[in-house]
Amino acid sequence: MSALIFSFADIFKPGFGGLPNLARLLGTTQNSLLELLYPNNKRNYKNFHIKKKNGNSRSIHAPKKNLKALQRTLAAHLSKLHTPKPSSHGFLLERSIKSNSIPHCGKEYVFNIDLEDFFESIHFGRVKNLFMSSPFNAPHNVAVVLAQLCCYDGKLSMGAPTSPIISNMICRKLDSQLQVLAAGKNCYYTRYADDITFSFTSSKKLLPTDIVQITEGGVGAPGGALLSVIERNGFRINPTKTRLRHRSQRQIVTGLTVNKFPNVSRSFIRRTASMIHALTKFGSVNAERRYLEILNSQDFELAPRQNKRTSDYKGDFFPKVINGRLNFIQMVRGKNDSVYRKLAYLYSVAINKEDRDLLKSAQEILGESVFSVLNLADSNSEGSAFLLSGVGIVTNQHVIDGIDLDSPLELLEFSTTESPSRKLSPPLIYKSKVPDLAIFYAGESFDRIRALTVSKQKHIRPLDPILAVGFPGGFDSCPSPYINGGKVVQGRYIFEQQHWLVDIPLLQGNSGGPIFDTSMEVIGIASRGSRKNNFESILHAFIPVDTVLKAICKPDFIYRKRYLDLKFNVVFNSAVCERYVFAEDCVFKDVLDLYLPLSRLPVPVYTK
């Protein structure tokens, strides 16, 4: 009998579902699975407590090794079947507390509520019913075993790998209904696990009473429609964690300040700085001893594995705590943020691994990847360009007017900000008037230049903070790029191309330069602005970076890029091949006709 490949969907096919198939999917046998779960699975958990900020303790039930392995396998399969709502940000790839906070930045009012006993309210019956409903449609006996696998004492365990994905699946209906409620009231809604946030641009008098009501004491309370939706979905609101804050107050979403942009609290940064100072002054062993004394005085309990580490490897735990705090600051503020870089440098000195690159300013860091472009074919017109990771050198098509694939390379000069500066002339890969985009090949001359990265931010919204970098006065007038901060105003289609208008001037020479988000990652390319010294135009705009990602999947880009790789003897990476969607149907005859005259190299053959 030929080998069968079992997928999660196969378990729930009529006539095919059953416990043997479930066990096979989880990498075990039916007997082993049932022996692990019955008659009681409590023996498969370790229990401990974590101190909460309010002084109470939170019970954590963490599965032991064998059960955790099965739960991780199941969670991986569940994740493939779950399509989260845009408003859901907890426990999801490429989403975080930062992505959860971004929609609420710069709003007039922020309204926070908390779902009480979130995991505990998702009981055995709800989990069983989840697996018996679409898209699973599991038989009753399979659904019962799955629920037993995921629950501790009849409810979701806070320490189980399956709890996050199951809670998100159960909350999908809640997210959908609250999204509709928010959209109908012209406000913003997100959820991160049990933290629910609404934000508003209206004044206090115009706040939608269906969502937030102002009590006689002047505080915010959940409105009737909001309460109804939450209760119908089997949850309760924790009244002690409900708050409405005006922009004149400190607005917080999932621990981040959002008055202007997602930010870490000052106290967190000060505490991190003092910990680095202690590490430098007293050494890791003594600083760790004092740190643990402070935790004990506050009745703070470490997890069992942390207690073991502090006992077995003295002085190893404290630097890891600092490193974790630094990673958190970097995630929120960005790796090029001056506060993060200063703290990271001091930490590198404290652990005797000094990294002087961390002393560079944001302008120096960003400037390394941005170039001034001089177009000798168009009356010495000037613009900007930048090196984008996995793509090449990116600029606008109108910056290179008069340049074609067969134009002499010397007609374009890309000046670097290095000292001394270099003038580079890379070959053209792709250009298009719609969108206003041109991409050049980054050969060996660009190997030592740091490439910028594409933003992980999925959506651009009005009022999002941005940073524009470029050479509005040309390279000769200023050999370092000009950096200007502003905000997104609105989206608009200009000449059949999506643009985002900004509230800062993008002067002639800025065109083709990168537009950054708060993480110093690229969200767009400056495209439309004013003539020199003319600030009157309202059409200061950029095109989104998605335009670039679509361009690199086009057949003419793919073939030209491959041709240049072969020409310059670049070893072709199969992972890159997948990124560029190589396939037989990508290499059209007209593309071959276009590029064959450019080289005597044999035509590469791509097969599926």
User: Among 338, 308, 336, which residue's Cα sits nearest to residue 455?
Assistant: 336
CA–CA separation, 465 vs 469, rounded Å?
A: 14
pLDDT for res 297: 81
Tell me the three-class secondary structure of 202-268, residue by residue: CCHHHCCCCCEEECCCCCEEECHHHHHHHHHCCCCECHHHCEEEECCCCCEECCEECCCCCECCHHH
Q: Is 334 helix (H, G, I), strand (E, B) or coil?
A: coil
Report DSSP letters for 165-200, one per residue. HHHHHHTHHHHHHHHHHHHHTT-EEEEETTEEEEEE
CA 235, 237, 238, 242 torsion-angle sign = positive
Beta bridge partners of 439: 394, 430
211-244 per-position pLDDT tens digit? 999 988 889 999 999 999 999 999 999 999 999 9
Q: Is 47 helix (H, G, I), strand (E, B) or coil?
A: strand
CA 556, 559, 565, 571 torsion-angle sign = positive
Beta bridge partners of 244: 111
CA–CA separation, 131 vs 138, rounded Å?
A: 6
User: Among 383, 432, 423, which residue's Cα sits nearest to residue 405?
Assistant: 432
Q: Per the confidence metrics, is the pTM higher than 0.85?
A: no
**100 burial level (CB within 10 Å; 0-12, 13-18, 19+):** buried
Q: What parts of the chain have a pLDDT lower than 50?
A: 1-4, 12-16, 532-536, 572-608
Domain boundaries, the chain: 1-81+120-157, 92-118+172-260, 266-359, 553-598
pLDDT for res 290: 93
Give the number of other Cβ atoms within 10 Å of residue 471's Cβ.
31
CA–CA separation, 212 vs 218, rounded Å?
A: 12
Residue 197 corresponds to which tokens in the numbers above?
């946030």
Q: Is 263 helix (H, G, I), strand (E, B) or coil?
A: strand
DSSP 445: G
Q: Which fold has domain 92-118+172-260?
A: Alpha-Beta Plaits (3.30.70)
User: Phi first, then psi: what are they for 43, rounded to 5°?
Assistant: -65, -15
**Cβ–Cβ < 8 Å for 321, 347:** no
**220 burial level (CB within 10 Å; 0-12, 13-18, 19+):** buried
158-180 per-position pLDDT tens digit? 889 999 999 999 999 999 999 99
Cα angle 273-277-279, degrees, rounded to a multiple of 5: 115
**Cβ–Cβ < 8 Å for 430, 560:** yes
Beta bridge partners of 394: 386, 439
**Cβ–Cβ < 8 Å for 606, 566:** no
Instruction: Render the burial of 349-384: b for 16+ CB within 10 Å, e for the rest.
Output: bbeeeeeeebebebbebbbbbbbbbbbebbeebbbb
DSSP 583: -
User: Among 288, 34, 411, 417, which residue's Cα sits nearest to residue 426?
Assistant: 411
pLDDT for res 130: 95
Residue 47 corresponds to which tokens in the numbers above?
């229990």
Which residue in this structure is represented by tokens 């006065």? 473
**Cβ–Cβ < 8 Å for 567, 427:** no
Give the number of other Cβ atoms within 10 Å of residue 608's Cβ.
6
**267 burial level (CB within 10 Å; 0-12, 13-18, 19+):** exposed
